Amino acid sequence: MVGDLLSKLPWLKPLLRTKFYSSCECNSAKPCSFFCRDCMGSAFCEDCLYHPHKHVGHQSLRVYKSSSRVGLRVKSIRKLMDVSDIQPYTCNSSKLVYLNRKGRNDHVNRINGRKVDKCEVCGHELQCYSSKFCSIECKVQSEIEVEETEKEEVGISISITRLLQVDPNSFRKRMRKGTPLRSPFF
């Protein structure tokens, strides 16, 4: 499942590791708010985006900053991957999904006395009942964990079938019911 996701979207892991809104290597005053899906390198600024020799014809994503976190517009990322189960946030009248999960110190229970939905991975409170995750990183992490448990289950079932198989050199047609017990000698 996630193997499919990461094989279809090879730029997703580098995007999640990239640091945005720092100074650009071209010494521009503009912050690094773009990511090239073709180069899958570091973040770059608007000047680098329109530079004739750097990212001409490449597919780039613009990252926005809201509440000290970076995110992508839902309408731009929806074309590339399913974000229907990620909590959308409103920033300047456009919907964003955050790239990375919140830090541990940012988990504050603000809603007292009632049951709230939480992110399945990090436990951050969600505002929307249809959401399962607070960020793209949490969704990817969840799918990686699901894939690992599926691999473990397959490995366990293979080892059990190996244990249950009868030795082809044996004269028995079926396995024993259990460990044979002999009567004790007096």
Two tokens, residue 102: 């919140």
Read off the amino acid at residue 150. E
Q: Residue 173 gets which letter from DSSP?
A: S
CA-wise closest residue to 98 among 87, 108, 107: 87
Q: What is the pLDDT of residues 27-48, one digit of tens each?
A: 888 889 999 888 888 888 888 8
User: Whose structure tokens read 């110190």?
Assistant: 105
pLDDT score for 73: 92
Two tokens, residue 92: 């300047």
Beta strand extents in 37-146 (DSSP E only):
60-62, 64-66, 69-73, 89-91, 94-98
Residue 8 banded pLDDT, cuts 50, 70, 90: confident
Looking at residues 53-59, what average pLDDT do you find?
79
pLDDT score for 28: 80
Residue 63 banded pLDDT, cuts 50, 70, 90: very high
pLDDT score for 25: 83
pLDDT score for 1: 47
Output 80 or 53, whichever has higher pLDDT: 80
Compute the distance between CA of residue 137 and CA of residue 148 in angstroms, rounded to an integer.
17
Beta strand extents in the chain (DSSP E only):
34-36, 60-62, 64-66, 69-73, 89-91, 94-98
Looking at residues 92-107, what average pLDDT do you find?
78
Question: Which residues in 102-116 are b (16+ Cβ under 10 Å) and which e?
Answer: beeeeeeeeeeeeee
Residue 115 banded pLDDT, cuts 50, 70, 90: low
The pTM score is 0.71
C-alpha separations of 106 from 100, 109, 122 in Å: 13, 10, 11
